[in-house]
Copies of this chain bind each other. A is one copy, B any other.
Protein backbone atom coordinates (compact mmCIF):
# COMPACT_ATOMS: atom_id res chain seq x y z
CA UNK A 1 0.00 0.00 0.00
CA UNK A 2 2.05 2.87 -1.33
CA UNK A 3 1.82 5.56 -4.02
CA UNK A 4 4.06 6.62 -6.87
CA UNK A 5 4.97 9.80 -5.00
CA UNK A 6 5.84 7.96 -1.79
CA UNK A 7 8.00 5.49 -3.68
CA UNK A 8 9.64 8.30 -5.61
CA UNK A 9 10.37 10.16 -2.37
CA UNK A 10 12.00 7.05 -0.95
CA UNK A 11 14.21 6.80 -4.04
CA UNK A 12 12.43 3.89 -5.73
CA UNK A 13 12.01 3.89 -9.52
CA UNK A 14 8.81 1.91 -10.11
CA UNK A 15 8.02 -0.10 -13.22
CA UNK A 16 5.49 2.60 -14.09
CA UNK A 17 8.24 5.23 -13.96
CA UNK A 18 10.47 3.06 -16.14
CA UNK A 19 7.70 2.63 -18.70
CA UNK A 20 6.78 6.32 -18.80
CA UNK A 21 10.40 7.47 -18.96
CA UNK A 22 10.97 5.36 -22.06
CA UNK A 23 7.91 6.68 -23.90
CA UNK A 24 8.67 10.28 -22.92
CA UNK A 25 12.38 10.04 -23.82
CA UNK A 26 13.52 11.15 -20.36
CA UNK A 27 15.68 9.36 -17.81
CA UNK A 28 13.94 7.34 -15.08
CA UNK A 29 16.00 9.11 -12.42
CA UNK A 30 14.91 12.57 -13.60
CA UNK A 31 11.31 11.41 -13.76
CA UNK A 32 11.50 9.90 -10.26
CA UNK A 33 12.69 13.24 -8.89
CA UNK A 34 9.88 15.16 -10.64
CA UNK A 35 7.31 12.78 -9.17
CA UNK A 36 8.88 13.05 -5.70
CA UNK A 37 8.66 16.84 -5.96
CA UNK A 38 5.05 16.57 -7.12
CA UNK A 39 5.71 18.26 -10.46
CA UNK A 40 4.70 15.10 -12.35
CA UNK A 41 1.95 12.57 -11.59
CA UNK A 42 1.27 9.07 -12.89
CA UNK A 43 -2.47 8.59 -12.34
CA UNK A 44 -2.83 4.84 -11.98
CA UNK A 45 -5.04 3.12 -9.44
CA UNK A 46 -3.53 -0.04 -7.93
CA UNK A 47 -6.69 -1.85 -9.08
CA UNK A 48 -6.54 -0.73 -12.74
CA UNK A 49 -4.26 -2.53 -15.19
CA UNK A 50 -3.08 -0.55 -18.25
CA UNK A 51 0.03 1.09 -19.66
CA UNK A 52 0.47 4.28 -17.64
CA UNK A 53 1.11 7.81 -18.84
CA UNK A 54 2.46 10.72 -16.85
CA UNK A 55 1.32 14.33 -16.67
CA UNK A 56 3.41 17.33 -15.79
CA UNK A 57 6.58 19.34 -16.11
CA UNK A 58 8.82 18.58 -19.07
CA UNK A 59 6.57 15.89 -20.53
CA UNK A 60 4.43 15.91 -23.65
CA UNK A 61 1.03 17.57 -23.21
CA UNK A 62 -1.76 15.08 -22.50
CA UNK A 63 -5.38 15.16 -23.65
CA UNK A 64 -8.52 14.04 -21.82
CA UNK A 65 -11.85 13.14 -23.41
CA UNK A 66 -15.06 13.35 -21.40
CA UNK A 67 -17.70 10.76 -22.11
CA UNK A 68 -20.75 9.56 -20.21
CA UNK A 69 -24.49 9.22 -20.22
CA UNK A 70 -26.90 11.89 -19.01
CA UNK A 71 -30.42 12.00 -17.66
CA UNK A 72 -31.62 12.88 -21.17
CA UNK A 73 -29.39 10.66 -23.28
CA UNK A 74 -28.37 7.30 -21.89
CA UNK A 75 -26.81 4.50 -23.95
CA UNK A 76 -23.84 2.55 -22.56
CA UNK A 77 -22.92 1.00 -25.93
CA UNK A 78 -22.70 4.46 -27.46
CA UNK A 79 -20.52 5.78 -24.64
CA UNK A 80 -18.16 2.80 -24.94
CA UNK A 81 -17.96 3.50 -28.67
CA UNK A 82 -17.09 7.14 -27.90
CA UNK A 83 -14.34 5.90 -25.60
CA UNK A 84 -12.85 3.73 -28.34
CA UNK A 85 -12.94 6.58 -30.83
CA UNK A 86 -11.35 8.98 -28.32
CA UNK A 87 -8.52 6.54 -27.62
CA UNK A 88 -8.05 5.75 -31.32
CA UNK A 89 -7.60 9.46 -32.10
CA UNK A 90 -5.09 9.88 -29.30
CA UNK A 91 -6.81 10.68 -26.00
CA UNK A 92 -4.49 9.98 -23.06
CA UNK A 93 -7.32 9.65 -20.60
CA UNK A 94 -11.08 9.24 -20.39
CA UNK A 95 -13.35 10.84 -17.84
CA UNK A 96 -16.63 9.06 -17.18
CA UNK A 97 -19.06 11.86 -16.36
CA UNK A 98 -22.16 9.71 -16.55
CA UNK A 99 -25.30 10.99 -14.85
CA UNK A 100 -27.88 8.63 -16.34
CA UNK A 101 -28.57 4.89 -16.12
CA UNK A 102 -26.78 2.39 -13.87
CA UNK A 103 -23.72 4.41 -12.99
CA UNK A 104 -21.92 1.55 -11.26
CA UNK A 105 -22.14 -0.76 -14.28
CA UNK A 106 -21.16 2.03 -16.66
CA UNK A 107 -18.05 2.92 -14.66
CA UNK A 108 -17.03 -0.73 -14.29
CA UNK A 109 -17.33 -1.30 -18.03
CA UNK A 110 -15.38 1.84 -18.88
CA UNK A 111 -12.55 0.93 -16.50
CA UNK A 112 -12.51 -2.63 -17.78
CA UNK A 113 -12.36 -1.63 -21.42
CA UNK A 114 -10.15 1.46 -21.21
CA UNK A 115 -6.49 1.18 -22.21
CA UNK A 116 -5.84 4.64 -20.76
CA UNK A 117 -6.34 6.25 -17.36
CA UNK A 118 -9.89 6.86 -16.21
CA UNK A 119 -11.14 9.82 -14.20
CA UNK A 120 -14.47 10.64 -12.53
CA UNK A 121 -16.26 13.35 -10.57
CA UNK A 122 -17.71 11.32 -7.66
CA UNK A 123 -20.24 13.95 -6.58
CA UNK A 124 -22.08 13.43 -9.90
CA UNK A 125 -23.13 9.93 -8.80
CA UNK A 126 -24.50 11.16 -5.50
CA UNK A 127 -26.37 14.03 -7.11
CA UNK A 128 -27.79 11.73 -9.79
CA UNK A 129 -29.04 9.34 -7.13
CA UNK A 130 -30.68 12.18 -5.16
CA UNK A 131 -32.37 13.55 -8.25
CA UNK A 132 -33.66 10.09 -9.21
CA UNK A 133 -35.23 9.81 -5.76
CA UNK A 134 -36.86 13.24 -6.18
CA UNK A 135 -34.67 14.64 -3.41
CA UNK A 136 -32.86 17.98 -3.31
CA UNK A 137 -29.12 18.59 -3.37
CA UNK A 138 -29.38 20.08 0.10
CA UNK A 139 -30.36 16.62 1.35
CA UNK A 140 -27.02 15.15 0.33
CA UNK A 141 -25.38 13.25 3.18
CA UNK A 142 -21.62 13.88 3.22
CA UNK A 143 -21.06 10.30 4.42
CA UNK A 144 -22.49 9.06 1.13
CA UNK A 145 -19.97 11.18 -0.73
CA UNK A 146 -17.01 9.67 1.12
CA UNK A 147 -18.47 6.18 0.60
CA UNK A 148 -18.77 6.88 -3.11
CA UNK A 149 -15.16 8.08 -3.33
CA UNK A 150 -13.99 4.90 -1.59
CA UNK A 151 -16.16 2.68 -3.78
CA UNK A 152 -14.93 4.31 -7.00
CA UNK A 153 -11.36 3.98 -5.74
CA UNK A 154 -11.93 0.27 -5.15
CA UNK A 155 -13.33 -0.14 -8.67
CA UNK A 156 -10.12 1.31 -10.07
CA UNK A 157 -10.60 5.02 -10.90
CA UNK A 158 -7.19 6.58 -11.58
CA UNK A 159 -7.97 10.21 -10.83
CA UNK A 160 -10.92 12.04 -9.31
CA UNK A 161 -12.06 15.60 -9.63
CA UNK A 162 -12.83 16.83 -6.13
CA UNK A 163 -13.95 20.41 -5.65
CA UNK A 164 -12.26 20.87 -2.28
CA UNK A 165 -11.59 24.57 -2.83
CA UNK A 166 -15.23 25.67 -2.95
CA UNK A 167 -15.17 27.01 0.60
CA UNK A 168 -17.30 29.52 2.44
CA UNK A 169 -14.40 31.88 2.21
CA UNK A 170 -13.93 31.60 -1.57
CA UNK A 171 -17.69 31.85 -2.12
CA UNK A 172 -17.75 35.09 -0.13
CA UNK A 173 -15.46 36.66 -2.72
CA UNK A 174 -17.99 35.78 -5.42
CA UNK A 175 -20.75 37.46 -3.48
CA UNK A 176 -18.77 40.68 -3.14
CA UNK A 177 -17.70 40.68 -6.80
CA UNK A 178 -20.72 39.38 -8.73
CA UNK A 179 -20.31 37.59 -12.01
CA UNK A 180 -22.08 37.72 -15.35
CA UNK A 181 -22.34 33.95 -15.45
CA UNK A 182 -22.02 32.80 -11.86
CA UNK A 183 -20.81 29.26 -11.18
CA UNK A 184 -20.62 27.01 -14.25
CA UNK A 185 -18.90 23.99 -12.72
CA UNK A 186 -21.47 21.28 -12.04
CA UNK A 187 -19.61 20.07 -8.95
CA UNK A 188 -19.01 23.61 -7.79
CA UNK A 189 -22.68 24.55 -8.15
CA UNK A 190 -23.84 21.40 -6.34
CA UNK A 191 -21.53 22.05 -3.41
CA UNK A 192 -22.45 25.72 -3.22
CA UNK A 193 -26.14 24.75 -3.17
CA UNK A 194 -25.53 22.27 -0.35
CA UNK A 195 -23.34 24.68 1.64
CA UNK A 196 -25.76 27.59 1.26
CA UNK A 197 -28.89 25.62 2.06
CA UNK A 198 -27.31 23.89 5.06
CA UNK A 199 -25.16 26.81 6.17
CA UNK A 200 -22.16 24.48 6.43
CA UNK A 201 -18.57 24.24 5.19
CA UNK A 202 -17.66 22.04 2.18
CA UNK A 203 -17.14 18.50 3.60
CA UNK A 204 -14.44 17.79 1.00
CA UNK A 205 -12.50 20.69 2.47
CA UNK A 206 -13.37 20.15 6.08
CA UNK A 207 -12.59 16.43 5.95
CA UNK A 208 -9.78 16.60 3.40
CA UNK A 209 -7.77 14.12 5.46
CA UNK A 210 -10.42 11.47 4.84
CA UNK A 211 -10.08 12.13 1.11
CA UNK A 212 -6.32 11.81 1.37
CA UNK A 213 -6.56 8.55 3.29
CA UNK A 214 -8.72 6.90 0.63
CA UNK A 215 -6.65 8.20 -2.27
CA UNK A 216 -3.44 7.04 -0.66
CA UNK A 217 -4.81 3.52 -0.18
CA UNK A 218 -5.51 3.04 -3.91
CA UNK A 219 -3.00 5.57 -5.30
CA UNK A 220 -5.81 7.67 -6.73
CA UNK A 221 -4.52 11.00 -8.04
CA UNK A 222 -6.57 13.94 -6.78
CA UNK A 223 -7.54 16.44 -9.43
CA UNK A 224 -8.45 19.51 -7.41
CA UNK A 225 -11.50 20.85 -9.23
CA UNK A 226 -11.95 24.53 -9.94
CA UNK A 227 -15.54 24.88 -8.88
CA UNK A 228 -15.31 28.64 -9.27
CA UNK A 229 -13.75 28.67 -12.73
CA UNK A 230 -15.04 31.52 -14.91
CA UNK A 231 -17.82 30.55 -17.32
CA UNK A 232 -17.64 33.83 -19.20
CA UNK A 233 -14.74 35.85 -20.53
CA UNK A 234 -16.05 38.77 -18.50
CA UNK A 235 -15.67 36.73 -15.28
CA UNK A 236 -12.12 35.54 -15.91
CA UNK A 237 -9.46 35.97 -13.20
CA UNK A 238 -11.86 37.46 -10.68
CA UNK A 239 -11.39 37.33 -6.94
CA UNK A 240 -13.51 34.22 -6.51
CA UNK A 241 -11.33 32.29 -8.96
CA UNK A 242 -8.11 33.42 -7.32
CA UNK A 243 -9.44 32.88 -3.78
CA UNK A 244 -10.20 29.26 -4.69
CA UNK A 245 -6.74 28.91 -6.25
CA UNK A 246 -5.09 29.97 -2.97
CA UNK A 247 -6.95 27.20 -1.16
CA UNK A 248 -6.03 24.69 -3.86
CA UNK A 249 -2.37 25.63 -3.38
CA UNK A 250 -2.58 24.74 0.29
CA UNK A 251 -4.36 21.48 -0.49
CA UNK A 252 -1.61 20.58 -2.97
CA UNK A 253 0.97 20.90 -0.19
CA UNK A 254 -1.08 18.75 2.15
CA UNK A 255 -1.57 16.01 -0.45
CA UNK A 256 2.12 15.87 -1.31
CA UNK A 257 3.07 15.75 2.35
CA UNK A 258 0.56 12.94 2.93
CA UNK A 259 1.93 10.98 -0.03
CA UNK A 260 -0.96 11.45 -2.45
CA UNK A 261 -0.47 12.47 -6.08
CA UNK A 262 -2.28 15.68 -6.93
CA UNK A 263 -2.98 17.94 -9.88
CA UNK A 264 -5.00 21.15 -10.17
CA UNK A 265 -7.79 22.10 -12.56
CA UNK A 266 -8.02 25.50 -14.20
CA UNK A 267 -10.17 27.72 -16.36
CA UNK A 268 -12.45 28.02 -18.20
CA UNK A 269 -13.65 30.99 -20.30
CA UNK A 270 -10.82 33.52 -20.65
CA UNK A 271 -9.71 36.19 -23.14
CA UNK A 272 -6.41 35.13 -24.69
CA UNK A 273 -4.33 37.90 -23.12
CA UNK A 274 -5.11 36.55 -19.63
CA UNK A 275 -4.03 32.96 -20.30
CA UNK A 276 -0.27 33.28 -19.83
CA UNK A 277 -0.70 35.20 -16.58
CA UNK A 278 -3.18 32.62 -15.28
CA UNK A 279 -0.89 29.71 -16.04
CA UNK A 280 2.03 31.42 -14.31
CA UNK A 281 0.16 32.47 -11.20
CA UNK A 282 -1.31 28.97 -10.87
CA UNK A 283 2.07 27.29 -11.20
CA UNK A 284 3.54 29.65 -8.61
CA UNK A 285 0.72 29.38 -6.08
CA UNK A 286 0.44 25.60 -6.45
CA UNK A 287 4.18 24.97 -6.35
CA UNK A 288 4.39 23.64 -9.90
CA UNK A 289 1.64 21.04 -9.55
CA UNK A 290 0.55 19.52 -12.87
CA UNK A 291 -2.15 21.77 -14.35
CA UNK A 292 -5.27 20.43 -16.04
CA UNK A 293 -7.22 23.03 -18.02
CA UNK A 294 -10.76 23.03 -19.36
CA UNK A 295 -10.28 25.13 -22.48
CA UNK A 296 -9.48 27.93 -21.97
CA UNK A 297 -12.15 29.33 -24.27
CA UNK A 298 -11.06 32.62 -25.82
CA UNK A 299 -14.59 33.65 -26.79
CA UNK A 300 -18.07 32.88 -25.46
CA UNK A 301 -19.80 33.36 -28.80
CA UNK A 302 -18.94 30.27 -30.84
CA UNK A 303 -21.30 27.46 -29.80
CA UNK A 304 -21.02 24.73 -32.42
CA UNK A 305 -17.31 25.46 -32.85
CA UNK A 306 -16.03 25.39 -29.29
CA UNK A 307 -13.49 22.68 -30.15
CA UNK A 308 -11.73 25.34 -32.25
CA UNK A 309 -12.02 27.92 -29.47
CA UNK A 310 -10.60 25.38 -27.01
CA UNK A 311 -7.70 24.60 -29.32
CA UNK A 312 -6.77 28.28 -29.53
CA UNK A 313 -6.78 28.73 -25.75
CA UNK A 314 -5.35 25.27 -25.06
CA UNK A 315 -2.27 25.85 -27.21
CA UNK A 316 -1.43 29.12 -25.49
CA UNK A 317 -2.13 27.55 -22.08
CA UNK A 318 0.08 24.53 -22.78
CA UNK A 319 2.98 26.71 -23.89
CA UNK A 320 2.73 28.64 -20.64
CA UNK A 321 2.41 25.87 -18.08
CA UNK A 322 -0.70 23.75 -18.61
CA UNK A 323 0.17 20.04 -18.78
CA UNK A 324 -3.15 18.38 -19.46
CA UNK A 325 -5.91 19.58 -21.80
CA UNK A 326 -9.52 18.55 -21.36
CA UNK A 327 -11.03 18.36 -24.80
CA UNK A 328 -13.95 20.50 -25.84
CA UNK A 329 -16.24 19.20 -28.57
CA UNK A 330 -18.39 21.05 -31.12
CA UNK A 331 -21.39 20.05 -28.95
CA UNK A 332 -20.18 22.05 -25.93
CA UNK A 333 -22.87 24.40 -24.54
CA UNK A 334 -25.50 22.72 -26.75
CA UNK A 335 -25.87 18.98 -26.15
CA UNK A 336 -24.10 15.72 -25.34
CA UNK A 337 -21.45 14.99 -28.00
CA UNK A 338 -21.97 12.45 -30.78
CA UNK A 339 -19.31 9.99 -31.94
CA UNK A 340 -18.19 12.49 -34.57
CA UNK A 341 -18.03 15.30 -32.02
CA UNK A 342 -15.73 13.11 -29.92
CA UNK A 343 -13.33 12.63 -32.85
CA UNK A 344 -13.38 16.37 -33.65
CA UNK A 345 -12.85 17.28 -30.01
CA UNK A 346 -9.93 14.92 -29.51
CA UNK A 347 -8.29 16.02 -32.77
CA UNK A 348 -8.61 19.72 -31.89
CA UNK A 349 -6.99 19.10 -28.50
CA UNK A 350 -4.28 16.89 -30.01
CA UNK A 351 -3.46 19.73 -32.43
CA UNK A 352 -3.23 22.15 -29.51
CA UNK A 353 -1.06 19.72 -27.54
CA UNK A 354 1.18 19.03 -30.52
CA UNK A 355 1.51 22.73 -31.43
CA UNK A 356 2.62 23.40 -27.87
CA UNK A 357 5.00 20.43 -27.84
CA UNK A 358 6.67 21.79 -30.99
CA UNK A 359 7.42 24.99 -29.05
CA UNK A 360 8.36 23.15 -25.83
CA UNK A 361 10.52 20.73 -27.84
CA UNK A 362 9.46 17.62 -25.95
CA UNK A 363 9.00 14.10 -27.25
CA UNK A 364 9.10 13.67 -31.02
CA UNK A 365 6.95 16.71 -31.87
CA UNK A 366 9.52 18.66 -33.89
CA UNK A 367 10.71 15.48 -35.56
CA UNK A 368 7.18 14.76 -36.78
CA UNK A 369 6.74 18.26 -38.22
CA UNK A 370 10.16 18.06 -39.86
CA UNK A 371 9.37 14.71 -41.43
CA UNK A 372 6.01 15.99 -42.68
CA UNK A 373 7.69 19.02 -44.25
CA UNK A 374 10.30 16.85 -45.95
CA UNK A 375 7.55 14.60 -47.31
CA UNK A 376 5.80 17.68 -48.71
CA UNK A 377 8.97 18.84 -50.40
CA UNK A 378 9.34 15.35 -51.90
CA UNK A 379 5.63 15.24 -52.92
CA UNK A 380 5.66 11.89 -51.11
CA UNK A 381 2.01 11.43 -50.22
CA UNK A 382 2.42 8.10 -48.43
CA UNK A 383 4.94 9.70 -46.10
CA UNK A 384 2.61 12.66 -45.57
CA UNK A 385 -0.15 10.29 -44.49
CA UNK A 386 2.28 8.57 -42.13
CA UNK A 387 3.13 11.77 -40.30
CA UNK A 388 -0.38 13.26 -40.32
CA UNK A 389 -2.07 13.45 -36.91
CA UNK A 390 -5.10 11.89 -38.64
CA UNK A 391 -3.71 9.79 -41.53
CA UNK A 392 -7.14 8.50 -42.52
CA UNK A 393 -8.78 11.82 -43.33
CA UNK A 394 -5.70 13.11 -45.16
CA UNK A 395 -5.59 10.02 -47.37
CA UNK A 396 -9.31 10.09 -48.04
CA UNK A 397 -9.50 13.76 -49.03
CA UNK A 398 -6.58 13.48 -51.46
CA UNK A 399 -7.57 10.09 -52.88
CA UNK A 400 -11.15 11.06 -53.56
CA UNK A 401 -10.18 14.24 -55.43
CA UNK A 402 -9.61 14.54 -59.19
CA UNK A 403 -5.84 14.42 -58.49
CA UNK A 404 -6.10 11.22 -56.45
CA UNK A 405 -3.25 9.53 -58.23
CA UNK A 406 -1.16 12.58 -59.10
CA UNK A 407 1.92 14.00 -57.38
CA UNK A 408 0.13 17.36 -57.08
CA UNK A 409 -3.32 18.14 -55.63
CA UNK A 410 -6.45 19.81 -57.05
CA UNK A 411 -5.63 23.08 -55.27
CA UNK A 412 -2.76 24.07 -57.57
CA UNK A 413 -2.55 21.35 -60.21
CA UNK A 414 0.66 21.80 -62.19
CA UNK A 415 1.06 25.34 -60.84
CA UNK A 416 2.19 23.59 -57.63
CA UNK A 417 4.83 25.75 -55.94
CA UNK A 418 6.92 22.75 -54.95
CA UNK A 419 6.99 21.50 -58.55
CA UNK A 420 7.96 24.89 -59.95
CA UNK A 421 10.51 25.54 -57.24
CA UNK A 422 12.11 22.15 -57.86
CA UNK A 423 11.65 22.47 -61.65
CA UNK A 424 9.77 19.15 -61.93
Q: Give chain A's interface residues, CB within 8 Å of chain B.
A: 70-73, 99-100, 124, 127-128, 131, 137, 180-186, 188-190, 192-193, 231-235, 269, 271-273, 298-305, 307-309, 311-312, 315-316, 319, 330-336, 347-348, 351-352, 354-356, 358-359, 366, 368-370, 372-374, 376-377, 384, 387-390, 393-394, 397-398, 401-403, 406, 409-423
Q: Is the CB of A359 within 8 A of B272?
A: yes
Q: Is the CB of A412 within 8 A of B300?
A: no
Q: Is the CB of B356 within 8 A of A272?
A: yes
Q: Give the shortest distance, in Å, between A357 (CB) and chain B (any CB).
A: 9
B-chain residues with CB within 8 Å of residue A416 when the two chains form the complex = 186
Q: Is the CB of A373 within 8 A of B231?
A: yes
B-chain residues with CB within 8 Å of residue A233 when the two chains form the complex = 358, 366, 369, 373
A376 with B333, Cβ < 8 A, contacts A300-B369, A348-B308 known:
yes
A137 with B355, Cβ < 8 A, contacts A131-B414, A348-B305 known:
no
Q: Can you spell out 25 A-B residue pairs with CB atoms less than 8 angstroms apart?
A: A72-B403, A72-B406, A189-B419, A193-B421, A231-B373, A233-B366, A233-B373, A234-B366, A234-B369, A234-B373, A298-B315, A298-B355, A298-B358, A302-B354, A302-B390, A303-B390, A304-B388, A305-B348, A305-B351, A305-B389, A305-B390, A312-B352, A334-B394, A334-B409, A335-B397
Residue of B nearest to A310 (CB): B308
Q: Give the shortest distance, in Å, between A247 (CB) and chain B (any CB).
A: 19
The quantity of this chain's copies bound in the complex is 2
Secondary structure class of chain A's binding surface, majority of residues: helix
B-chain residues with CB within 8 Å of residue A319 when the two chains form the complex = 272-273
Give the most central of A301, A356, A370: most B CB within 10 Å.
A301
Q: Give the shortest distance, in Å, between A334 (CB) and chain B (any CB).
A: 4
